[in-house]
Amino acid sequence: MMLAAPSIDIVLASVIVVLLAGIGFNQPSWSRSFTTALRYYSAYGAHIALYLVAFLVIYASAWRVYAWSADPGPSEASEVKPQLAWLALLVMVAVRAIPYTARRVRRWAHDWADIPDCAHRFAHALAGASFEPGDFDDDARALLKARGIDVGGDWLPSVESAQQQLLSATALFLRIRQWESSPRAAQFVTDARQSIDLLRHRFDRLSFRVSRTLASIERLGDVRHLFLQQAGESVESRPLDDLLRKLFNDLIADIFEDIHAFHADACLIAARGTLAMRNTRQGRDAMVAAMGFRLPRKEGRGTFLLLARVALLVVASLWLYFHIMPAAKAAIPARALFLVITLNLFGAIAIAVIPKRHWGFANSGLWQKTPKWFVFGAGVSAMLLGVLVNLCIGALLGGAAGALRRLQDGSVFLPYLFATAAVVAWLIQDHRWSRVTSRLRRRLYDALSWGAAWMAASLVSMSLIILRNAFSAEHRAVTNVPIADPLVALLVGLGVSFVFAAVLGYFIPELVRARDAPRPQEAGGDDLLEFVPKSLRQFVP
């Protein structure tokens, strides 16, 4: 079916608004290199959506005002709507042309994308990381030697340290210059041309200044030598030595300051280039490693992002579970029951994950000893959380009586919460399955362990359910398994519990464990004793 004329006009006007908003967001043109791809394009879409929604609001408001004042017929409306669409576009263009408005909206979007703070934090991390010149070591030495700086010569330790830092900065500078001949870096080099040219100018100035400074340091030694030759060895030279030492320290301090400033500028361009040329975290890590940076390995995903993924997995699994095995009878609505189970299960997992990620008492630590009290405490805390959730949901649905009824119905499932928090706290320890190199095998072991724990909890819970159903018809516990035949109900409950837990176990623990955790030697963890002073080894467990 052909689109009506008003729809076509609105679409065309909307396309123009999208184009204008996109152009307005990407100012300055190098803003993409100051944040990650995900943040950039998310803010880019939000910026466009804001302008588009504003355009539609203006158009709808104009049409409402016109319809209220003129009460047009169908034919008149079809003629007026296109005009109102272009009028709304004209208003948007006028608003967009106001520098203050456009700048404030763009700044809000850039702040959301973390521009430019993301690149500066990344550059700060690169500046503090160790750096290996790698293949550019010889080229960097040759370039510095051509400018009068012989790295590796017979110098004082402080001068040698400055030369090594200059060598690393020079190697990084050469790697950045290599981007100028790389097709993949062509877009970034074009956007950052001014910064790269400025970096080249700073390197020229730095290298010649360091060369002159080193020559001046040599002349200070010549001054002392000539003084002793003319005045004789018996002359007191301490005042002169103190003065020369002060001059030497000032010169070295200036060298270090200049090298650090240049290295920081080079790291910023390296960070911008990495952010612009790599869209994923894995790609960025691989690129900075190839450049020679040795960043400390991150523990893994941020806690918030990790818990968000866990929540999505829990919700999806429970949704599928409720559709496959709907509840035969429930004392509360199905949606409320779904909410209760989701909060309880996610809370039990979070109780184990959050302390492990942030507090030392929940970690196995250097000695790779499972914190047993944390495992037990996590299980108990999960049960207490389950009691609180059941009371709150029951109170919202039926007051005090509803809270007590919900607690009675949900208490038989508390063993599941204890088993969930305890097994998660046990599995997420960094040394768990440390001798297993295969990631797939570690996930399978996690799935089997979690499934076994839920089968044990199922035995307890299903036994309580069967007993309650046998002796109390009034307070029948809510169960998703038909219990006409107790033995069948128990077997079905065991199977469902194992499958559901295995799915969670396959994904969650491996996400939480630190991938760079210290691993014990094949001979055992006692090899770590060599790092402990002998006087303290008696206190080591």
Residue-wise pLDDT for 121-150, tens only, equals 888 888 888 888 877 888 888 888 888 777
Write phi, then psi, for 293 (nearest 5 degrees). Answer: -80, 140
What gap in Å lies between CA 155 and CA 134, rounded to an integer? Answer: 23
List all residues 6 or more positions away from 139 whose beta carbon is below 8 Å from its beta carbon: 171, 174
Q: SS3 breakdown of the chain: % helix, strand, coil, rounded to 5?
A: 80, 0, 20
My answer on whether omega of the bond before 28 falls inside 30° of 0, hence cis, is yes
Q: What pLDDT, on a 0 to 100 scale, did the predictor assign at position 523?
A: 38
Residues of the chain with pLDDT below 70 are 1-7, 72-74, 77, 152-156, 225, 227-228, 231-237, 296-302, 325-331, 360-362, 364-368, 466, 469-490, 514-541
Which H/E stretch holds residue 342?
helix 334-358
Q: What pLDDT, on a 0 to 100 scale, did the predictor assign at position 217?
A: 77
List all residues 6 or more positions away from 425 whose beta carbon is below 8 Å from its beta carbon: 352, 356, 362, 371, 374, 375, 378, 379
Average pLDDT of every residue of the chain? 79
Q: Are 172 and 163 in contact (CB under 8 A)?
A: no
Q: What pLDDT, on a 0 to 100 scale, did the predictor assign at position 70?
A: 72
